[in-house]
């Protein structure tokens, strides 16, 4: 089965979208800004789309040394994140109720892309380190 991946340059574009979106998400939690409702709605939309789209670009762009092991790592990360997400949603549904549940769902919207990016990049880094530690022979 052929899996579509974005060209490598999308990884940089992804970081350029993802980081401002995450910073924006954190900053917008504090109510020190007095901006019109329509601007707040547009900002929220931009933050959510930025975080989700940015994370997809980061993780689903070809690595410089893309090969079948990187592909396998990517799929394994996605699978692990599905389990983590399921566990979080089940726990949240049982423990959080009312208006707080909506808040929890919004948090979950950001947590998944962050975990996906961090987990995949950490795994790639681990593989590089392992190869570095292995004496070149």
Partner 1 sequence: MKNRIKVERAEKGVTQQELAEAVGVSRQTIVAIEKGYFLPSTPLALKIARYFSKPVEMIFFLEEDD
List residues binding partner 1 (CB under 8 A). Answer: 65, 67-70, 72, 127-128, 130-131, 134, 136-137
Containing H/E element for 90? helix 68-95
Alpha-carbon torsion, ordered 112, 113, 117, 120, to 10 deg: 50
31 or 67, CB closer to partner 1? 67
Burial class (CB in 10 A: 0-12, 13-18, 19+), 99: exposed
Between 34 and 130, name the residue whose CB sits nearer to partner 1. 130
CB of 131 to partner 1, least distance (A): 4
Task: Between 45 and 121, name the residue whose CB sits nearer to partner 1.
Answer: 121
């Amino acid at each position: 089965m052929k899996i579509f991946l974005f060209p490598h340059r999308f990884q940089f574009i992804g970081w350029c979208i993802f980081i401002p979106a995450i910073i924006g998400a954190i900053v917008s939690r504090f109510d020190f800004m007095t901006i019109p409702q329509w601007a707040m709605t547009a900002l929220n939309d931009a933050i959510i789309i930025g975080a989700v789209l940015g994370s997809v670009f980061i993780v689903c762009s070809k690595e410089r040394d893309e090969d079948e092991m990187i592909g396998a790592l990517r799929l394994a990360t996605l699978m692990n994140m599905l389990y983590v997400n399921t566990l979080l949603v089940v726990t949240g549904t049982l423990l959080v109720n009312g208006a707080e549940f909506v808040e929890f769902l919004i948090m979950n919207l950001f947590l998944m892309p962050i975990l996906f990016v961090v987990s995949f990049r950490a795994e790639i880094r681990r593989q590089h380190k392992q190869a570095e530690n292995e004496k070149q022979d």
